[in-house]
Chains A and B, each alone.
Chain A
Amino acid sequence: MAVLMPDYDSSPRGLADAARHRERIKEAIKRNLPDIISDEAIITRRENQIVKVPIRGIKSFRFIHRQSDGASGGFGSGETEEGKVIGRRSKPGNDPAGKAGEEPGEDYMETEIDLAELIEMMLADLGLPNLRQKEVRETKILKGWKIDSLEKHGVRPRLDKKRTIKEAIKRTEAIIQALSQMSRKSEEECRAALDAAGGDPARALAILDAGPVSGKPGDPNAIFIDSSDLRYRTITEDTEFHSNAVILAMMDVSGSMGTMKKYLARSFYFWMTSFLKTIYQRVEIRFIAHTTEAKLVDEHEFFHKGESGGTSCWSAYDLATELIDLEYPTSRWNVYPFHFSDGEDWDVQRTVKSLEKMLERGVANFGYGEIQAEHSISALMDAFKQKIPLQSRIMEGFSFYEGLWGTSPMLGVVIKDKLDLYPALRVFLNTGKRGGGLQRFTG
């Protein structure tokens, strides 16, 4: 029959070469990181670690023609008339990521990329490649007890019977060898003589010298334990180095924080957690939502539940300080409090005081993100600037505030839209190089 269903091996060859292609378009992906990371699909993705990224493939260069007037275009068919616009295309370089859905037939594709790979690329792009474990503060944790070594003296309960018998066998066999050499008799006879002598080598030699050893042959399993054979265990504490980090995610959830603002905060937390997970063995995140009062909430509530009412940021800082004292002592945890608000605050003075109290706990770094709408008043950032020794800096065109080295571990950014997200992350991760940010308190 001419129609068959062959049993193909389904080794995904296409995927393997696609990975090589992806390797080659890493630059293109990197260029588009600010777009890609603010893509909602990535952040809301559940379970799997694979994200889809819309990109344009690398061109295959060859000799090709241009139209003589230099304009690009093509042929089409279907009802139309001269001058009619049949579609539009983004300009090369403008909106480089594009959207796969917009331009059928174009060389757009969606490539699948491992989230971990994407994070690695971001870290590399942000100038933090290969953050190693030892660069972050580690804490020593007691795990239990472990055997350290064996010694010849010790207390009875720690006698290592197995090792003791092993030593005895070794010694017994050595004696038999020696007896055999000295008396020129067989090992069997020597073993019988040693047996008869109760393990005493001198007596055994005397028996051997006296003449043929009679009686039963030596028990090959006889072991004579001497005090020099005894082995005792010593034990020590078993410890492990852990690097733990906790993010205390605080957010103003009062009426003025709209969906878009929350989305920005959420994206930020998503990436921050992802980054910290590559650095620390263990990362916890706790959510503190506040209006005039602060409370611990779960993730869903944190991002989805809006409340009305006023805003008192100090309530969140006080709750964070309390959490640090009770659950995350800074002697054992690298604590990263972050706070997102739109800058409104009812009692700025009190908030500054609460903040100072929290900073005194020795947090690794406090990040403050103010999400500003076009006409919002930003009382808080201004107050922080006055009260806390902050200096204004600019990194690649993005301005932010940084606490003075050694005085206040704090970074402040103002986020106005989606595209500020990436520079903001860059600020939080990259300032470590100069002694701020993530790596401020190391070792």
Chain B
Amino acid sequence: MNSVDIKRLGKADELIKRIGREFGLDFMPQEFDVVPAQKMLEIMAYRLPVNYSHWSFGRDYEIERTRWEYGYAVPYEVVFNSNPARAYIMETNPSAIQILVMAHVYAHNDFMKNSRHFQATRRDMITSASEAASRFRAYEQDYGSDEVERLIDAAMSIEWNIDPDELLRPETEDEARERLYGWLKATPTGGGFDDLIPEKKRPQPAEKQKLRDKTPPEPTIDLLKYIIDSAPRRLREWEKDILTVVRNQALYFMPYRRTKIMNEGWATFWHEKIMNRLFAEKFLSPEEHGYYNLYNARVKAHNPRTINPYLLGWALFQNIEHRWNTGRFGPDYEACTSAAEKRDWDRHLNRGIEKIFEVRRTHMDWFFIDEFLNQEVIDDLELFIYQEVDKTTHLDLEVKETDWRKIKKVLVQNLMNWGIPRILVLDGNYHNSSQLYLKHEFEGLPLDDEYCRKTLEHVHFLWGRPVYLETNSLRTGGPITYYIDGDGIRVRTG
């Protein structure tokens, strides 16, 4: 890529910004770095432009590289929620594709600036990760790379067992205690409207004592934070630092995880509109249109093995726009039983664009799918569920379900809590001997046994004392409890 190409991308940048704003998109400052393939694959594998070393990033790098070398996947773009937003585009892609990617990135930029779920995240993660990387290197020197690796292994095993909403209301254990029992608020009344508030019952001393000893004061899903704060193992400062970095990065990526379908759908929806304008304004040539069509089709390609979030999200936004333009929602529409009438239903509301902007501000995938996924979209995209069927020598992937209601139900179930099992910390001083008692909030889906055991080993390593996990059996659905101590893992029913 030469300076002429770079200049052209600079021009495209200006145009995309202008067109985007005309469409009503609202951007943070945006910067693009054009990088070679190897760097791009690294950023994808390491999640951030510079991050600490870990074998799992190395593994992901090889996976990405293999996929790239075999042409299964063309890395398009990575964009970070920083200010200015920073995006990486691949040097070797043709210029039309890079411009497509830039338009796509600007829509992500709008999403990150305006979606409620991105508001609490820190915007200095790129620098922060790079600083963590050098601290970790120093730890490796001082404490040995095996020690550091062991700790990162353990931290990453529960990196998603955090509370993403914690950022909105950070609270210490004592603050939680106070909130729970309103000790401070039970101070003498001082006029105002106090007489309107029912009188608070002062907790009994025994109750108070019990609460003071109780840890955590109320069940928490932030297992990683609880371990950092309360592990009896006495984590040293550098160990706490590693766990905290892993947790902070997970918190940073949580909004991406919670809005994957929406975010990609939103970006695809708008890059198409912006690109069409760039062709209309003759900034892009007719031959480039061919490239664009080809790549855009790949972005939105059907995938028989998994749901393409670009395709599903795009289809949903299209559908919402159409429905709110024509007024196909609300009690009148729902009550209508005539298929013909429904087919031609048009109330000329033209509120489509307004609606999708509202949805992008408030929703995340779980509720987005629950609220807007309908038969029309499922049938259009021909979504289905497949299952692995054992054929002795191999497994057949067989289509099991094409009914839209079932598909929607299972999809929503899978997106529940963003696919992360809710593991609650119930007691950090179980049996009054610093044992950790965890409970899996069973919502119909059991835990994978192998993964559960291996993860518990990590939790036990971090905690340093025996750990319990109460869940439901895959086989019977009945309650079971895992118990791990220095001698290994046991499982008992009940």
Contacts and interface: CB of A to CB of B under 8 A. Distances in A.
Contacts of B149: 20
Interface stretch (B195-203, B326-334, B345-353, B441-449): B441-449
Contacts of B401: 82
B266 interface: no
Contacts of A18: 58-59, 61-62
A211 interface: no
Contact of B302 (A12, A22, A77, A83): A77
B492 interface: no
B448 A73 contact: no
B256 interface: no
Interface in B391-438: 391, 393-402, 407, 410-411, 414, 419-421, 423
Residue from the set A20, A73, A79, A90 with the largest chain B CB neighbour count within 10 Å: A73
Interface stretch (B40-48, B208-216, B279-287): B40-48
Interface stretch (A56-64, A294-302, A417-425): A56-64
Nearest to A80: B399
A77 B70 contact: no
A284 B152 CA distance: 48
A4 interface: yes
A145 B24 CA distance: 90
Given A3-B10, A76-B383, A90-B395, A10 B38 contact: yes
A12 B482 CA distance: 42
A63 B455 contact: yes
Interface in A1-34: 1-6, 8, 10, 12-24
A341 B428 CA distance: 70
B33 interface: yes
A84 interface: yes
Interface stretch (A106-114, A133-141, A170-178, A267-275): A106-114
B458 interface: yes
A77 B307 contact: yes
A109 B39 contact: no
B387 interface: yes
A88 B394 contact: yes
A220 interface: no
Contacts of B57: 14, 17
A87 B474 CA distance: 26
A73 B400 contact: yes
Interface string B128-170: 0000000000000000000001000000111111000000000
B402 A80 contact: yes
A104 B70 contact: yes
B402 A105 contact: no
B10 A8 contact: no
B54 interface: yes
A17 B72 contact: no
Contacts of B440: 63
B336 interface: no
A162 interface: no
Given A5-B33, A58-B59, A73 B385 contact: yes
Given A73-B385, A89-B395, A63 B161 contact: yes
Contacts of B1: 5
A86 to B, nearest CB: 5
A4 B87 CA distance: 10
Interface in B21-80: 29-36, 38-39, 41-42, 45-46, 53-63, 65-67, 69-70, 72
Contacts, number: 258
Residue from the set A68, A76, A100, A110 with the largest chain B CB neighbour count within 10 Å: A76
A71 B388 contact: yes
B38 A12 contact: yes
Nearest to B98: A3
B273 interface: no
A9 B54 CA distance: 19
A109 to B, nearest CB: 4
Contacts of A20: 53-55, 58, 149
B387 A72 contact: yes
Nearest to B450: A61
A65 B62 contact: no
A147 interface: no
Interface in B273-325: 302-308, 311-312
B451 interface: yes
A3 B6 contact: yes
A156 interface: no
Contacts of A21: 55-56, 58-59, 62
Contacts of B305: 74, 76, 86-87, 105
B455 A68 contact: no
B388 A77 contact: no
A2 to B, nearest CB: 5
B14 to A, nearest CB: 9
B382 interface: yes
Contacts of B36: 8, 10
B390 to A, nearest CB: 8
Contact of A109 (B59, B414, B474): B59
Contacts of A85: 396-399
B66 A66 contact: no
A91 interface: yes
Contact of B383 (A72, A75, A90, A100): A75
A79 to B, nearest CB: 5
B50 to A, nearest CB: 8
Contact of A4 (B32, B54, B448, B450): B32
Contacts of A80: 304, 382, 384, 399, 402
Contact of B447 (A63, A82, A91): A63
Nearest to A104: B72
A221 interface: no
A397 interface: no
A104 B68 CA distance: 11
A8 B62 contact: no
Residue from the set B67, B304, B414 with the largest chain A CB neighbour count within 10 Å: B304
Contact of A110 (B66, B386, B397, B445): B66
Given A14-B38, A76-B386, A61 B397 contact: no
Contacts of B444: 68
Contact of A83 (B41, B53, B398, B446): B398
B490 interface: no
Nearest to B380: A77
A443 interface: no
Given A4-B32, A4-B33, A88-B395, 13 more contacts: A5-B34, A10-B36, A20-B54, A57-B59, A63-B447, A74-B306, A78-B382, A82-B400, A85-B396, A89-B397, A101-B70, A105-B306, A109-B63
20 contacts: A2-B30, A3-B31, A5-B34, A6-B35, A10-B38, A12-B38, A13-B42, A14-B42, A63-B447, A73-B388, A76-B306, A77-B304, A81-B402, A82-B399, A82-B400, A84-B398, A87-B304, A87-B305, A110-B62, A111-B62
